[in-house]
Amino acid sequence: MFPSLVLLNGYAELLSQRNMKKKIITVVGARPQFIKNAPLEMALRKHERFEVKSIHTGQHYDDNMSRVFFEELDIDEPAYQLNVGSASHGKQTARMLESIEEILLMEQPSMLVVYGDTNSTLAGALAASKLHIPIAHIEAGLRSYNKTMPEEINRVLTDYLSTLLFVPSEVSLKNLHKEGVSDGIHIVGDIMLDTLKIAVGGNLTHNTQETPYYYATLHRPYNTDDKDRILNVLSAFNALSLPVVFAIHPRTSALLSSMNIAIDKYPNIDFIAPQGYFDNIRYMAGAEKIITDSGGLQKEAWFLKKPCVTLRPETEWIETLTNQWNILVFEDLKELKHALEITPGKYIGGCYGEGNTANKIANIIYHFLFDTQ
Ligand code: UD1
């Protein structure tokens, strides 16, 4: 072949490589992950050179724990549904691991994206790391320093396996540095603020309802699995000066019936089913205060400037504790009533970014995949 033709061929190949798409697979499975995934998938799909596919592990499977979020947040149907369902942690994670590995071997993506700290997060990260597929971890660097929580194990291990670590705040950055993790970290803010801004059209002001109430959710095993503890929680809710609207997670309602706990003994509590994204935000916005053990609700309360009491011994979201916008109550539930009467001090926002996290992440992934690989 003439040297000029060789050159031309080389140039054509370079051009086609440049135009080549790169495949990104996202793994979701539990309620908060659908919420975090919505703005990021939207941002990734805006880049023509990404091909984005998602895997739904099926960790959450009830319509009001899964389908409703896809519909409300307009998320594309996942390319793969694993339908793993509920099981012990080991079994559930193992089932996911096996299926995700098969898909990754078939799809050969350039990057895997995982969110938060659930069993679905760890399964995705483990499968990708063994196949040397770079991992992007959204919500990296969070720590409760409580190893009895499955989430703490999931998030620590996922951070160690990840190539790009997207942290929401300075605190999470420092947590990683303390553990000697320093490569690939990007402070991008909190992606749940993006979802909230999309959902409420940028208007984060709140409306208080005519009949005031507290809005509550609980799902952590240490609050729900022990009969004495859940009875104490229900009695504490029942003794509050405002009615409690309690959106009850399926694991909690299953436990209440298996423990033969009669909910009509608690007239101050209005038990309602788990809510979709919009209704949950509406209930939060209308409430006087929030009572929860969920990480996501602590942040959403903070974004909505709603005082929150968290029924946990510690929190990963320590910025929300500033000036008592979030108060921890755990051992002594008599403190709940008092904590709900406290008026928080000055609100100092901005620590979780401005709600443009998804675009920042998509641009960093683009740079990583096309400029450095
Ligand atoms: C999981 C995550 C937790 C996250 C939470 C959000 C782990 C270890 N935990 O907790 O980090 O904050 O999701 O909600 O990954 N169930 C149903 N229907 C469903 C889903 C669950 O009935 O659609 C019941 C089942 O009885 C199941 C139990 O809830 O055994 C627990 O579900 P699981 O996904 O294991 O943990 P969550 O408590 O939801």
Tell me the CATH number at 39. 3.40.50.2000
What pLDDT shows up at residue 292? Answer: 98
- Indicate the pTM of the whole model: 0.92
Q: Rounded to an integer, what distance in angstroms lies between the CA atom of residue 249 and that of residue 65?
A: 9
Query: Best mutation site among 251, 257, 275 for ligand 1, i.e. most ligand atoms within 8 A of its Cβ?
Result: 251
Same domain, yes or no, for 134 and 261?
no
Q: Tell the burial category of 373 from Cβ atoms under 10 Å away from its Cβ (0-12, 13-18, 19+).
A: exposed
346 in a domain, yes or no? no
Same domain membership, residue 361 and residue 324: no
Q: What kind and span of H or E run contains 291?
A: strand 289-292
Residue 204 within a domain: no
Encoded tokens for 6 = 């060789």
Task: List, in sequence order, the alpha helices (H) in the chain.
Answer: 3-19, 31-46, 67-72, 89-107, 119-130, 150-161, 170-178, 191-200, 221-224, 227-238, 250-258, 277-286, 295-303, 335-341, 357-366
State the closest ligand 1 atom to the C-alpha of 221, by its place in the atom list counted from 1. Answer: 38
- Residue with CA at minimum distance from ligand 1 atom 21: 60
* Residue range of the domain that includes 67: 17-190+354-371
Taking 90 as the threshold, does the pLDDT of residue 290 lie above it?
yes
The mean pLDDT value for 144-164 works out to 97
Say if residue 149 is in the same domain as residue 54: yes
Q: Give tens-digit pLDDT for 221-274.
A: 999 999 999 999 999 999 999 999 999 999 899 999 999 999 999 999 999 999
Tell me the pLDDT tens digit for each residue of 14-45.
556 556 899 999 999 999 999 999 999 999 99
What pLDDT is attached to residue 122? Answer: 98
Count of domains observed in the chain: 2
Q: Do residues 89 and 130 both lie within one domain?
A: yes
Is residue 259 domain-resident? yes
C-alpha 85 to ligand 1 mean position (Å): 9
- Indicate whether 170 and 253 sit together in one domain: no
The strands making up 135-138's β-sheet, listed across from edge to edge, are 80-81, 50-56, 22-28, 111-115, 135-138, 164-167, 185-187
Question: Could you identify the atom of ligand 1 that is nearest to the CA of residue 220?
Answer: 38
Q: What are phi and psi of 63, to 5 degrees?
A: -55, -45
Does 253 fall in a domain? yes
What span, in angstroms and rounded, lies between the C-alpha atoms of 251 and 283? 21
Task: Give the pLDDT score at 167.
Answer: 98
Q: What is the pLDDT of residue 9?
A: 64
